[in-house]
Each structure stands twice: as C-alpha cells, then as structure tokens.
Structure 1
C-alpha cells in the first residue's frame, strides 16, 4: 500500500526513532512509504535516503503557512497516499488540512506522549477540530488513552493503544568491556559505578531532580558518576544546578550522540526521572540492554517497568525516593542484575518492532475496529 508518515522533522528523539524503524520495516515488507516533514528534514533523514525512501521537507514558517500546506498536499497527492499516518498534534492538523479532498482511505494519528504541554491551548483545539477527518487516534500506552478520553481530546470510539517497539536484536547486553570504555571516555576510574539517563534536556525529563537525587547517592556512594546523554534548552541551567549541588565533577553531559547503544552497554544503572512521559523508547532500549532500571510512575513507565519484577518504580518529582531506589539498586547488585535480565526477557516478548508493526498493519487495513 502507499503510506505517508507525516512528522514535524526527523531530528534525534524517541518519536523520530520509532518512525524511522517503523518506516524501514514497512519498506522491507513491500509497502511504498514516504516521510513528509512539516519543518526541516532533520539529521536522521539520511538513514532513509540510504534505503531509497523519500523524505520531503515542507519548510513551514511560524503561523499559518499556506505555502507549506501546499507543498505537503503535493507530496501526498504525488505519492497517491492511501494511508496517512501522522505523529503528534501539530503534524496531524496540518496534514489533515493538506489532505482535504484527496480521498485518502485511512487517516491515523499517533500521540507519542501524554499531551501534557504546559499550555496546550490552540494546539489541542486544532487537534480536536481535525477529529472529523481522523479515523483512529493511537496512544502509546493505556494511561495516555485514558487521559485523551478524559480530557476530550479524542472520542473513545476512535482511540486505540499500540505500544512502541524497538529492534531488540540491535542491542547487546551491558558488559565489563563497554563499562571500561565508558569510564575512560568520561575519565573516571574503571571501578566507578556509572548511572546513566538518555533524553532531551527539557522540563519533562526533570534532570534537575535527578541531579539532586544523585547528590544524595554520592554522599553514601562516592564511587558513582552520572552520565546524561542528550541535548536541549536546559543544558546550561542543568550544568549550573550540578555546580550548585556540589556534584559538577561527577555529572557528565555527553550531548546529542549517535552511539547511544554503546553508551547504554557501559552503564551500571539506568534512571528515567520524567514528570510526564508517553511510552519511553529510552526505557525499552535500557530493557534490551539488560540494565537495572529506576523510573518514575508517570505515563507508560509502569507498563514497561514492573516494580521489583523488571526494575523499580518511584513517585515523580521526589528526589528522596529516587535516590533511595538508586542506592538500593547500586548496593544489591545481584538482585539488580536479575531485574535487568527480566527486563530483557520482557522486551523481547512485548516490546519488539515486529509486534508494533503488525498492530499498525491491522489498523491500516481495518481501522479502529481491528485494534489489537
């Protein structure tokens, strides 16, 4: 079938990685797939170029940009799009506007988070207006579906849950060799216990709370280091917080990286301190690496990490509880290792790309009535 994925861009992030992996799987399956980017193409577009999968940029400017809408419409029409799969709110209502009158058989939107922007306002209003031309709204976890219905973002009859998936076999388990490599990279002794996290440096991830929790861990475990992978608007502010908390020398900001899989293999513990979350790709990747995990109880985190079965779940925005769980995992190494092994087994069964792609395939053909 002719599929168009419509996104804001393909810069590095969980949403974008999920789209790339899904597009590659659909291309390999024999579908004719393209990606239309509302703004610029993004740094990950080259991966699709290498496979001959078209990636188009509409170059949208601020406000209502009819030229960008016209470009999007041309790409949808030229591709003879049968299924339009949009990702998140802004891309969705812009794509719906561009698709008017093109006779597209299925219009599906995936909401990758909880829709918890501090001032959703106009964005969610426009999203609701686009519901008339939307067949299915997919959320990535049960918590997000419940919120979307409760807030009136989408009607229950049009909603469906399809959890994200990853290419599990792409991830090797954590190892002493990779731990030594990471220790050398951040210039700490090889015996240092390395706590890590991966995510954009914005308010949703609450890196500030993580740094404060890490300070408490360091009081009892001075042999620990914190590695923060990702970039964003709070980078400088977080550096200042690390300095103010007296742990600047032990908090390592690695920025935006293309070797996240290798970095994960060098960690002793993975922590996700978000205050809002959808269905975290970073958590799935940590599971696939067999890492012990501590995550906050928001969004779909507890649907991935089962407390004391595949990791630890703690309240959000509670550095004290976060620090206690981190210390527990770093101290009880045998128990933590068992949780990591259980996490790997869970993601192999429940968090694979193949499982996710098959569920979307059902939706493309039959709509929300066929929701798995």
Structure 2
C-alpha cells in the first residue's frame, strides 16, 4: 500500500513528538511505501532535516509558505468566478457551512495563475466588500481586506498544490494538513484518515486569544475560520483517531461524528529503555525537562518553579533538554529570566542524546500549555522516572492512572501555576521512596499499555480496513 502522510510544521524539519511518531510509523511499517507531504511556514533556506529518511519513504513533498512572499503581484485581474464559487468563498470567511468541493475544484481546475494575484484581484476585492457590507459593517474595509488576505493566504497556497497520488491519505492534524487530506480525497477519490495528537483547533484558539497582532474584533473571525478547517477534515475523513478518551470527547464536541472516532494511543519501543543503566548521581537532586524551547511548552513557568525549588534545595540541578533554535527570541527570553531570578546550575542542553540524561535524572517535569499524549512522559516512565506535569492532554491519565490499576506515577498541577509545580517537585525530591514507587508504577503502565508494536498493529489494521472499505466504495461509485 502507498500511504501519503500529511504533516504541518513538523517532520522532517522539527524534532518533537509528532515528528518522532511519523518517523516511527514509517520505519516500523516496511511492508508499506510512504510519501510525506510536509507544510512549513518558513522558507526552505531557513530549515534543515532533523531525521534520516527511511528507505520506504519514496517521496518527500514540501510546501514552504515563506517562499511565496517575494512573488511579483499583478493586481486587478478577473478570474470569472461563478456565483456558486463566490458563495463558497464567502462561507469560508463568513462562519457558515463551507462548500469545500466547489472551493477545491476552483483551484484544481488550474484557473488561478498565482494565489497572490488572486488575492489582489477584483474578485477577492468584491468578496471582501460584500462581507463588509452584509456582515462586518463596523469594520474598516482596509483592515478587513488585509486581515482576510493574511488569513486565507496559507490555506490557498496549500490547496493550490498538486497532491501526490497514493492509495490512502493520512493527515497528522486538522488545520491545513487536514484540508489537504480532504483535497486529496476530492482529487483522487481515495480514502482519507485523520489522526489528532492534540486538538489543533483548541491550540490555535489559545494562540489567537493571546496574540497581540490580531485586533479584538478579528479574534472571533480567526477562531471561526480554524473551526471551519477542522470541520472540513472531520467531514471528509473515513476515520478519525485520537490518542486518549478526553481528546475523542472534544472531537465529538467540535462536530466529528462519533461513529468515525476511535482511540489509538502512542507507543514507544520499551526495549530501548534499560533501567539497569540507571545510575543516579551520588549528590544533589537532578531535575530535567525533555522539551522544545517554544512558548506552547511554557518554559518560563518551569524556570519560575525551579527558582523556588532551588531556594529550598540548595544542591539541585536543572536540565532543559531539547533544541532551542525553533524560536530563538523565546529562548533568549528564557535565558534572561533564569539570569534575573539568579538560578544556579541550570543548563539548556540543546539537541543531545536524551538517553544519557534519562540514566541519572531523579524527576522529570512538563509545563506545557497544550499537549496530546506526550512521548516524553512515556519515555521517562519507561526509565522509572516520576513526573510533575501540567493538567493538559492525557498527562493525568498517564500519571494518575485514571483508567487502569497500575497506580500513581507522578503528580498533576494546573497550567501556569509555577508555585504548585515547585511544591510537588520539592515534595518528590524529599521522598526517595515515593519516587521509586511512582517510577515502578509508570514502567508497568507503559510496558502494558503503550508499546510501539501495539500501536503499529492497530494502525496497520486500520489502514487495511479503511483501504478495503474505500476500494468497495470507489467501485460502487464507478458503477453508478
């Protein structure tokens, strides 16, 4: 089977949970051939591959959205859009049900010579004017024009690409990747599967609410827009998987039909994590976080909690383990915060061999604002290291054992409550017996419920089921 995985902002250019998942899927399904379609907001000059491409990855297709900003623009053109096409564009921005088939076909037909030309056309001008006249009467036209242009530009650039042909399409999120999966289904009439590691729409909503560059009256428009993108993916997908029950419930709340949903948890190769190699340092408490240094991981909350811990435990060491090049401005802010708080013994390691740190760390920390089912928690627990984590994604399920009998393997604190995080770290640091108990419980949970072979078997079964049903559906449609 030839499978096209569609990823946004991740593989193979960014390390992290989603990229690791993509790499694992390809490596552990050698019987399938893969194509990866990767969407990046940056220019190709600004990124490098972080993963060695497996031999069964036949093609890597990239769309670098940043590469299009310097194109020459011919303003004022006409594209002779029909009334039905105009309504489809209006509904995309106007918060109504979107006719995606009409939108897809408009771009697939090859009528648009350049997305930037289309957004500078008289047709797009007319669409914005009608929106201002009928729905946004209190919004200045110029503000609306530039806001909508920036909103739809990435989407239209994605839709304007020719999708590679495959037997099955698998998007690793909603958003642009989800729409491209729906587009591929429209183009080739092949099955489309959607997996959400986190709830993309909720993550974008949080970012938009906090964003300074989006004016207040545009925040709702942006949020509704991303909900429309998710609806597109939910509507077109044959099956929609999530990593844990809480995520599946949110998918249904957002409009995904319950009969399409199922849970396939993340899994790790437990055999790579050798607890016999654990060699805790003789002195001090060693606390780590395996994390990308980016705002959604809320490194600043972690630093503030470490500051309190160090006041209580003088001989404590903090390791922030992971790459920091993705958002260098945020990284510098974190360095400045650590300096201003006078924290000693703090190390930003950059990209390193994580295993070396898992062999001696006493406690692991995760302070994210949003997560799905973090692979770093599974990996830490596989090495019998207890966690203190924020109450996001499936962290409570993994650490408190809500749905199993393996016992507690860490503690949960509210998002951004650095003082509560510090209290739990101090409590664990002062209780080696509880750390050992939590670590042992965690390894038992992971080895029983979250193994890589188990995950691969479930996806393989789903691929065969979706492809078989898709072939049957397509043969019926051809007959009709």
Common fold: TM-score over 0.5: yes
Relative distance call for 1:42 and 1:107 in structure 2 (3 A) is farther
Q: Give the Å deviation of 1:192.
A: 2.6
Counterpart-to-counterpart distance in 1, 2:50 and 2:274: 22
Q: Give the Å deviation of 1:256.
A: 2.7
- Contact (CA 8 Å) 2:178, 2:194: kept in 1 or not? yes
Q: Specify the alignment match of 1:103 in structure 2.
A: 189
Q: Specify the alignment match of 1:263 in structure 2.
A: 357
Which among 20, 24, 36 is matched to residue 21 of structure 1?
24
Secondary structure of 1:26's aligned partner? coil
Counterpart-to-counterpart distance in 2, 1:72 and 1:353: 33
Which among 227, 251, 258 is matched to residue 346 of structure 2?
251
Secondary structure of 2:187's aligned partner? coil
Counterpart-to-counterpart distance in 2, 1:228 and 1:253: 5
Q: Give the Å deviation of 1:174.
A: 7.3
Kindly provide the CA deviation profile for residues 228-254 of structure 1, in whole angstroms up to 9, marking residues without a partner as x. Answer: 11224221111111112221x322111
Q: Give the Å deviation of 1:204.
A: 2.3
Secondary structure of 2:199's aligned partner? coil
Q: Specify the alignment match of 2:178 in structure 1.
A: 92
Q: Specify the alignment match of 1:322 in structure 2.
A: 421
Counterpart-to-counterpart distance in 2, 1:92 and 1:251: 39
Q: Specify the alignment match of 1:236 in structure 2.
A: 332
- Contact (CA 8 Å) 1:229, 1:253: kept in 2 or not? yes
Q: Give the Å deviation of 1:156.
A: 2.4
Counterpart-to-counterpart distance in 2, 1:72 and 1:225: 51
- Contact (CA 8 Å) 1:294, 1:312: kept in 2 or not? yes
Aligned CA-pair RMSD: 2.5
Q: Specify the alignment match of 1:192 in structure 2.
A: 284
Secondary structure of 1:91's aligned partner? helix
Q: Give the Å deviation of 1:206.
A: 1.9
Q: Give the Å deviation of 1:42.
A: 5.4
- Contact (CA 8 Å) 2:269, 2:452: kept in 1 or not? yes
Secondary structure of 1:321's aligned partner? helix
Which among 361, 370, 375 is matched to residue 276 of structure 1?
370
Q: Give the Å deviation of 1:279.
A: 0.5
Q: Specify the alignment match of 1:202 in structure 2.
A: 294
Q: Give the Å deviation of 1:52.
A: 4.4
* 1:158 and 2:260 aligned: yes
Counterpart-to-counterpart distance in 2, 1:204 and 1:142: 22
- Contact (CA 8 Å) 1:60, 1:68: kept in 2 or not? no
Q: Give the Å deviation of 1:341.
A: 1.5
Q: TM-score, normalised by structure 1?
A: 0.85
Secondary structure of 2:186's aligned partner? coil
Counterpart-to-counterpart distance in 1, 2:391 and 2:188: 42
Counterpart-to-counterpart distance in 2, 1:237 and 1:173: 36
Q: Give the Å deviation of 1:282.
A: 0.9
Q: Give the Å deviation of 1:92.
A: 1.8
- Contact (CA 8 Å) 1:109, 1:138: kept in 2 or not? yes
Q: Give the Å deviation of 1:171.
A: 1.7
- Contact (CA 8 Å) 2:388, 2:413: kept in 1 or not? yes
* 1:57 and 2:142 aligned: no
Q: Give the Å deviation of 1:161.
A: 1.7
- Contact (CA 8 Å) 2:389, 2:412: kept in 1 or not? yes
Kindly provide the CA deviation profile for residues 163-217 of structure 1, in whole angstroms up to 9, marking residues without a partner as x. Answer: 111111112227464x55xxxxxxxxx6232100011222322221111111111
Q: TM-score, normalised by structure 2?
A: 0.67
Q: Give the Å deviation of 1:336.
A: 0.5
- Contact (CA 8 Å) 1:58, 1:72: kept in 2 or not? no
- Contact (CA 8 Å) 1:137, 1:158: kept in 2 or not? yes
Relative distance call for 1:176 and 1:102 in structure 2 (3 A) is closer
Secondary structure of 1:360's aligned partner? helix
Q: Give the Å deviation of 1:47.
A: 4.0
- Contact (CA 8 Å) 1:12, 1:43: kept in 2 or not? no
Which among 241, 249, 254 is matched to residue 138 of structure 1?
241
Q: Give the Å deviation of 1:132.
A: 3.2
Unaligned runs of 5+ in 2: 67-152, 209-221, 402-406, 470-480
